[in-house]
């Protein structure tokens, strides 16, 4: 672990990303301390600019505080990002592991299914799913998970294909270990690092998809998120720029930070880099 | 060859006709905004707004109405009302053909009114409630026999209100579901050509239109652009020339008004008389008790909604009837309609009715459905959620697409509280009775009494008020109606909408009809 941190630390940008994300998480957790009111609450004069009428970042068309929306929305955006990623990583591992380990007919079937999902443009597919299920936080998580697992599945399958013929796996076979145990205990831990790297980047994509959906009016209308703020402000972008801009910046910073972390993890976990030391 | 020759002749006569009328220039394509996309094209089944934007160009009514309210003969050349008001004889225009070439006759009128409008139209049963039978002594005469005089009926012959539909394509079929619903065949100035789902509806000039020289335009394209800022951009760069019913959000309309090539008007809605409102499910769910509904009406800051969401275009409602009915002395201001909202009074009503707040300040929870007609309504829903939260009613918002929402509210009654707007039209009988009458609880018919409110006393008043010839007595009856409704509140009126038409000044000739965007556009032309 210490070793890992040493390697990670070498990438300055990655450390910066980590700090930013930790700050954002702290902000999300302490949202109610700074802004105890419901972020949907009408707090004052509508369309006040930043730093006027007691609004740090201005108010939107109904007089809701944009700063409060950003702080409270961080929770939703991060939550959706992490939960959707975890769900899709699990689906991806399931498909990829079975396809890679067993090969043959099972591989064919699972990979064809994966390809079907891969051929549908993912954002449009997500829109379709949310529209069918009626916009709610659960349906959005499902939609994001459903469109993002195929990448993980292909990655895991590749790793399993490469590892399943290695000596340690064959040794396990001779010891009479069951297939599931070999997959779970022996092969999977050995391909965790690429999964972690891909997963970290998926969090960023998930946040972007959620914002995109909310922007198009397909967000959960009862939950504050960054996408909701942008969606509510985009019709007045030309007369009240602050309503869209600040949540947009929040998304930009978060996604950038997560990408930097992903990069850092890749450096730290990449075995070839390890050998170079 | 022969075909070519006829085409030339027709084109020639069109040109001549255009010159004779000396008004417009022939040719050109008009693109206008249709928002949202209509669920079907059956304007004889649904009065849903987007259908009204498209179909009056294809189907025609017996009359149109100009901005002063004067009747303009369309499919009828004239009418004659007997002295007792119980017989109305229409002389129909000769030589009118359906787009499929069949002649338009009095049989079509009889079929349309008796078998279509009176049965499946949302407002038809009301407009034509007194019509007991229609005689057709010849192909161009239709005699309406009424049980009682119904002067208000004469206000409902526009193409939007009462489109004349072809008997030969509907008779013997399931009227609500006949193929005609998405392949309309009318008598109007434009023929239906194609509906590309998600993109546009295309109507082409009817070259055999009964009035020579009209229409001027070669083509009308109704575009569906789901995103409000894209709609505004399309208007700005001249891609679309006409946008009504707030397809361009007010915030942008106010800005576009300053441009030289774009103008804004509130004309074209006088026959429509729109009212924003909340419908309640009075049979099941959270709002069965009228006290809660009164409290809700009392709590809402109507002025705030108008000023912030609709940029000042609108008037706070003061009763079940629009203040536009002051002209006919039918409107009376009622209690429970404070302009700026009175949350203390609303809380007091709820306390008195015995709805206690729990630890979180919540008295009851419910779901608020919102009319899916654009951003403004979402903001209205978000405002209501906040305002209701202050009086202990915790709302969850629900947005759906148009067909799902219509099914939920008008087919399944699976709602508790629904933000909507209704047209009160030029007479309460046409636009208001349908909210409240027991006979207007019609499952599967859109924009009628979805509250399922039923009050025999009110029914009797509505019934006698409708045909009351004496003005003073009618005023008294409608006052009593408004009192009952202010007490029971099956529907809470929010504010009278003032819709805008945003148009490119290049487009001329479409502003004369009181129907506005629901007009035929037959005299519209492009002047570069």
- Interval B305-331: pLDDT, tens: 999 888 888 999 999 999 888 877 889
Cα distances (angstroms) measured from residue A156 to each of A140, A168, A172, A246, B116: 25, 18, 20, 38, 62
User: What would the pLDDT profile of B217-259 be if each residue is shown by its tens digit?
Assistant: 999 999 999 888 899 999 999 999 999 988 888 888 888 988 8
Q: For this complex, say whether ipTM is above 0.85.
A: no
d(CA B251, CA B310): 8
* Predicted local confidence at residue A272, as pLDDT: 62
Give the CATH number, domain containing residue A210.
Answer: 1.10.3720.10
SS in 3 state form for B244-280? Answer: CCCCCCHHHHHHHCCCCCEEEECCCCCCCCEEEEEEE
Mean pLDDT of the region A238-267: 90
A232 contact B CB<8A:
yes
User: What would the pLDDT profile of B30-69 be if each residue is shown by its tens digit?
Assistant: 999 998 899 899 999 988 889 999 999 999 999 998 887 7
Cβ of A235 within 8 Å of Cβ of B252? The answer is yes
* Predicted local confidence at residue A274, as pLDDT: 53
Task: Tell me which residue in A42, A216, A222 faces B397 most closely, judged by beta carbons.
Answer: A222
What domain count does chain A have? 1
The DSSP call for residue B117 is I
User: What would the pLDDT profile of B337-365 be if each residue is shown by its tens digit?
Assistant: 999 999 999 999 999 999 999 888 899 99
Mean pLDDT of the region A109-121: 92
Spatial CA neighbour of B487 closest among B447, B467, B458: B458
Do strands B29-33 and B507-508 pair parallel, antiparallel, or not at all (unpaired)? Answer: unpaired
pTM of the predicted model, to two decimals?
Answer: 0.77
d(CA B194, CA B202): 5
Which of B:355-394 have CB within 8 Å of A?
375, 378-379, 381-383, 385-386, 389
* Predicted local confidence at residue B24, as pLDDT: 80
**Do residues B253 and B62 lie in contact, with contact meaning Cβ atoms separated by under 8 Å?**
no
Spatial CA neighbour of B116 closest among B94, B131, B98: B131
d(CA A39, CA A110): 44
* Predicted local confidence at residue B16, as pLDDT: 38
Spatial CA neighbour of B465 closest among B487, B422, B435, B433: B433
Mean pLDDT of the region B370-375: 85
CA B2 to chain centre: 44
Which of A:107-136 have CB within 8 Å of B?
131, 134-135
pLDDT band of residue A3 (cuts 50, 70, 90) is: confident
The residue segments making up the domain with residue A58 are: 2-276
Tokens of B435: 């909210």
How far B387 CA lies from chain A's nearest CA (Å)?
9
List the beta bridge partners of residue B393.
B364
* Predicted local confidence at residue B21, as pLDDT: 44
Provide the strand spans (E) within B287-414. 314-316, 364-370, 393-399
CA B267 to chain centre: 15
Task: Tell me which residue in B249, B252, B386 faces A40 most closely, judged by beta carbons.
Answer: B386
Mean pLDDT of the region B170-187: 90
Give kind and range of the element (H or E) at residue B508. Answer: strand B507-508
Cα distances (angstroms) measured from residue B146 to each of B80, B89, B108, B133, B330: 13, 11, 19, 7, 24
Share of chain B above pLDDT 70, in %: 96
Mean pLDDT of the region A88-117: 93
* Predicted local confidence at residue B225, as pLDDT: 92
List the beta bridge partners of residue B191.
B204
Task: Tell me which residue in B229, B383, B397 faces A235 most closely, judged by beta carbons.
Answer: B229
Residues 6+ apart with CB under 8 A from A158: A96, A100
* Predicted local confidence at residue B23, as pLDDT: 67
Interface test with B, best of A212, A235, A239 (most B CBs within 10 A): A235
Task: Tell me which residue in B227, B251, B400 faces A236 most closely, judged by beta carbons.
Answer: B251
User: What would the pLDDT profile of B129-140 be if each residue is shown by its tens digit?
Assistant: 899 999 999 999
Interface test with B, best of A221, A231, A237 (most B CBs within 10 A): A221
* Backbone phi and psi for residue B239, each to the nearest 5 degrees, phi listed first: -70, -35
**Do residues A11 and A263 lie in contact, with contact meaning Cβ atoms separated by under 8 Å?**
yes
Residue B2 has pLDDT above 60, yes or no: no
pLDDT band of residue A90 (cuts 50, 70, 90) is: very high
To the nearest whole number, what is the mean pLDDT of chain B? Answer: 89
Cβ of A235 within 8 Å of Cβ of B389? The answer is no
**Do residues B79 and B151 lie in contact, with contact meaning Cβ atoms separated by under 8 Å?**
no
To the nearest whole number, what is the mean pLDDT of chain A? Answer: 89
Tokens of A269: 């976990």
């Amino acid at each position: 672990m210490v070793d890992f941190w040493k390697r990670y630390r070498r990438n300055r940008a990655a450390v910066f990303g980590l700090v930013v994300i930790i700050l954002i998480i702290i902000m999300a957790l302490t949202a109610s301390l700074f802004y105890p009111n419901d972020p949907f609450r009408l707090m004052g004069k509508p369309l006040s600019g930043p730093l006027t009428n007691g609004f740090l970042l201005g108010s939107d068309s109904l007089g809701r505080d944009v700063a409060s929306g950003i702080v409270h929305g961080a929770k939703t955006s991060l939550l959706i990002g992490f939960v959707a990623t975890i769900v899709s990583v699990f689906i991806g591992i399931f498909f990829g592991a079975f396809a890679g380990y067993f090969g043959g007919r099972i591989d064919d079937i699972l990979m064809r299914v994966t390809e079907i999902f891969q051929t549908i443009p993912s954002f449009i597919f997500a829109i379709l799913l949310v529209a069918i299920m009626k916009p709610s936080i659960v349906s959005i998580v499902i939609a994001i998970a459903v469109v993002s697992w195929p990448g993980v599945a292909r990655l895991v399958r590749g790793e399993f294909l490469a590892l399943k013929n290695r000596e340690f796996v064959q040794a396990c076979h001779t010891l009479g270990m069951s297939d599931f145990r070999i997959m779970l205990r022996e092969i999977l831990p050995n391909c965790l690092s690429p999964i972690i790297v891909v997963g970290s980047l998926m969090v960023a994509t998930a946040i972007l998809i959620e914002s995109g959906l909310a922007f198009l009016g397909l967000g959960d209308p009862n939950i504050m998120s960054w996408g909701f703020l942008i969606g509510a402000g985009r019709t007045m972008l030309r007369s009240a720029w602050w309503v869209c801009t600040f949540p947009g910046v929040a998304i930009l910073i978060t996604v950038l930070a997560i990408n930097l972390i992903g990069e850092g993890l890749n450096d730290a976990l990449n075995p070839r880099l390890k050998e170079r030391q | 060859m022969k075909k070519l020759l006829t085409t030339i002749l027709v084109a020639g006569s069109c040109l001549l006709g255009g010159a004779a009328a000396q008004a417009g220039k022939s040719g050109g394509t008009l693109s206008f905004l249709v928002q949202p996309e209509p669920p079907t094209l059956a304007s004889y089944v649904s009065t849903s707004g987007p259908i009204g934007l498209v179909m009056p160009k294809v189907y025609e009514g017996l009359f149109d109405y100009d901005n002063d309210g004067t009747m303009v003969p369309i499919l009828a050349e004239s009418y004659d009302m007997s002295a007792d008001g119980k017989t109305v004889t229409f002389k129909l225009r000769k030589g009118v053909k359906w787009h499929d070439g069949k002649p338009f006759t009095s049989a079509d009128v009889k079929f349309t009114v008796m078998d279509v409008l009176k049965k499946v139209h949302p407002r038809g049963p009301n407009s034509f409630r007194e019509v007991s039978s229609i005689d057709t002594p010849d192909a161009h005469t239709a005699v309406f026999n009424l049980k009682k005089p119904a002067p208000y009926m004469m206000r409902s012959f526009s193409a939007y209100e009462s489109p004349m539909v072809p008997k030969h394509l509907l008779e013997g079929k399931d009227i609500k579901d006949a193929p005609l619903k998405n392949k309309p065949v009318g008598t109007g100035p434009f023929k239906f050509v194609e509906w590309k789902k998600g993109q546009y509806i295309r109507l082409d000039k009817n070259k055999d239109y009964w009035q020579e020289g009209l229409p001027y335009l070669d083509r009308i394209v109704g575009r569906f652009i789901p995103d409000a800022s894209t709609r505004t951009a399309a208007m700005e760069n001249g891609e679309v020339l006409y946008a009504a019913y707030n397809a361009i959000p007010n915030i942008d309309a106010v800005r576009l008004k300053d441009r030289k090539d774009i103008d804004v008007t509130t004309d074209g809605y006088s026959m429509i008389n729109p009212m924003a409102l909340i419908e309640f499910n009075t049979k099941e769910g959270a709002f069965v008790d009228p006290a809660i509904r009164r409290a809700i009406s009392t709590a809402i800051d109507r002025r705030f909604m108008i000023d912030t969401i609709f940029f000042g275009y609108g008037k706070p409602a003061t009763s079940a009837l629009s203040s536009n009915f002051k002209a006919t002395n039918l409107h009376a201001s009622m209690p429970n309609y404070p302009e700026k909202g009175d949350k203390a009074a609303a809380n007091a009503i709820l306390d008195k009715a015995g709805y206690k707040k729990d630890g979180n300040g919540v008295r009851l929870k419910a779901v608020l459905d919102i009319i899916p007609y654009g951003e403004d309504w979402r903001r209205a829903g978000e405002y209501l959620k906040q305002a209701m939260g202050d009086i202990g009613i915790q709302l969850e918002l629900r947005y759906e697409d148009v067909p799902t929402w219509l099914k939920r509210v008008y087919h399944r009654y699976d709602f508790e509280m629904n933000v909507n707007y209704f047209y009160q039209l030029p007479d309460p009988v046409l636009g208001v009775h349908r909210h409240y009458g027991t006979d207007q609880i019609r499952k599967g018919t859109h924009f009628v009494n979805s509250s399922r409110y039923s009050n025999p006393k009110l029914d009797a008043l509505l019934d006698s008020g409708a045909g009351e010839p004496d003005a003073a007595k009618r005023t008294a009856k409608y006052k009593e109606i408004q009192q009952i409704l202010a007490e029971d509140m099956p529907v809470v009126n929010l504010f009278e909408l003032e819709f805008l038409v945003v148009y490119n000044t290049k487009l001329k000739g479409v502003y004369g009809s009181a129907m506005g965007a629901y007009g035929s556009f037959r005299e519209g032309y492009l002047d570069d």
